[in-house]
C-alpha cells in the first residue's frame, strides 16, 4: 500500500451534513471519505450512477476497489493552524411570494408556513475557495494505472465540485470509524479522540492521525 497527500479546493458551493448555527443551518466543515470515494470512482469511469429507484448507496460495493481516502478536513484542522472554513448564504432567495419584501424574508400578507422553500436562504453551504486535505491510500498495482481525477462532485445531489491536487505537505488527518467497522468489516487498530468538531458524528470521526499511522491502519 502507498499513501498520497492530496489538497482539495472547493470551486462551487458545497452543501453537506448540517449543524445548527446562529442565523441558519451550516454545512459541516469536512468532506466525508465515503462521498470522496464515490466521487473518485465516478470520475475514473469505474462506477455508474445509482438506479433511479435506489434511495441510498450499498456501501459494501466500494470494497471492490482497493483504495481509500481519509476524511477531507480544512487547513485549521490538518495543520493545527490556519484558516477556518468559510460559509456563505444562498444568494437566490424566494421571491415568488414576496420573500424579499422590505428587506425581510416574509411578506406581511403571507404566513410563514405558506412560503415555498422558506428555509432556503438560511442554508449556509461551504464557500468556493475553501481548501481541504486528505490522504489517499491505495494499492499501487491497481491505482497506478489510473490518473488522479482533476475534479470530483460531492455534497447534496453532487452539486459541489472540488479540484484535486497532489501535495507534498505532511498534515494531520481524520478517519471515519463507520467505514472501518460497517463497510470494510475491520477494527480500527489505533483510536484517537482529539477530533471533536461535529457533535452528531463525534463517535464516528476519529483523529488526529499522521501519514505513517494512516498507512499502518489501512495497510
Residue 204 has pLDDT above 90, yes or no: no
Over residues 179-190, the pLDDT tens digits come to: 999 999 988 888
Give pLDDT, residue 114.
62
Q: Give the Cα separation of 198 and 204 in Å (integer).
A: 10
Backbone angles phi, psi at 91, to 5 degrees: -85, -20
Give pLDDT, residue 168.
94
Nearest CA to 71 out of 163, 137, 21, 141 is that of 137
What's the average model confidence in pLDDT over 28-53? 84
Take residue 39 and report the three cell numbers written for it. Answer: 466521487
Beta bridge partners of 175: 206
pTM, rounded to two decimals? 0.83
Asked if residue 31 lies in contact with residue 173, where contact means CB atoms within 8 angstroms, the answer is: no
Take residue 133 and report the three cell numbers written for it. Answer: 486535505
What's the average model confidence in pLDDT over 163-179? 94
Q: What band does 117 get if pLDDT is binned at 50, 70 and 90? A: low
Give pLDDT, residue 73.
95
Amino acid at each position: 500500500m502507498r499513501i498520497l497527500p492530496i489538497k482539495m479546493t472547493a470551486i462551487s458551493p458545497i452543501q453537506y451534513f448540517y449543524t445548527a448555527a446562529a442565523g441558519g443551518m451550516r454545512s459541516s466543515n469536512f468532506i466525508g471519505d465515503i462521498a470522496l470515494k464515490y466521487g473518485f470512482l465516478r470520475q475514473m469511469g469505474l462506477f455508474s450512477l445509482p438506479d433511479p429507484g435506489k434511495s441510498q448507496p450499498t456501501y459494501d460495493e466500494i470494497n471492490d476497489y482497493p483504495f481509500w481516502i481519509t476524511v477531507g478536513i480544512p487547513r485549521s484542522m490538518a495543520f493545527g493552524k490556519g484558516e477556518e472554513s468559510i460559509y456563505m448564504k444562498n444568494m437566490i432567495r424566494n421571491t415568488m411570494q414576496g420573500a424579499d419584501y422590505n428587506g425581510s424574508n416574509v411578506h406581511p400578507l403571507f404566513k410563514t408556513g405558506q412560503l415555498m422553500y422558506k428555509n432556503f436562504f438560511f442554508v449556509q453551504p461551504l464557500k468556493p475557495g475553501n481548501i481541504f486535505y486528505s490522504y489517499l491510500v491505495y494499492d499501487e498495482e491497481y491505482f497506478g494505472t489510473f490518473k488522479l481525477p482533476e475534479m470530483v462532485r460531492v455534497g447534496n445531489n453532487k452539486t459541489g465540485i472540488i479540484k484535486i491536487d497532489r501535495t507534498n505537505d505532511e498534515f494531520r488527518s481524520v478517519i471515519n470509524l463507520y467505514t472501518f467497522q460497517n463497510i470494510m468489516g475491520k477494527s480500527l487498530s489505533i483510536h484517537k479522540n482529539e477530533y471533536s468538531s461535529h457533535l452528531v458524528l463525534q463517535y464516528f470521526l476519529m483523529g488526529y492521525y499522521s501519514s505513517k499511522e494512516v498507512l499502518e491502519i489501512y495497510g
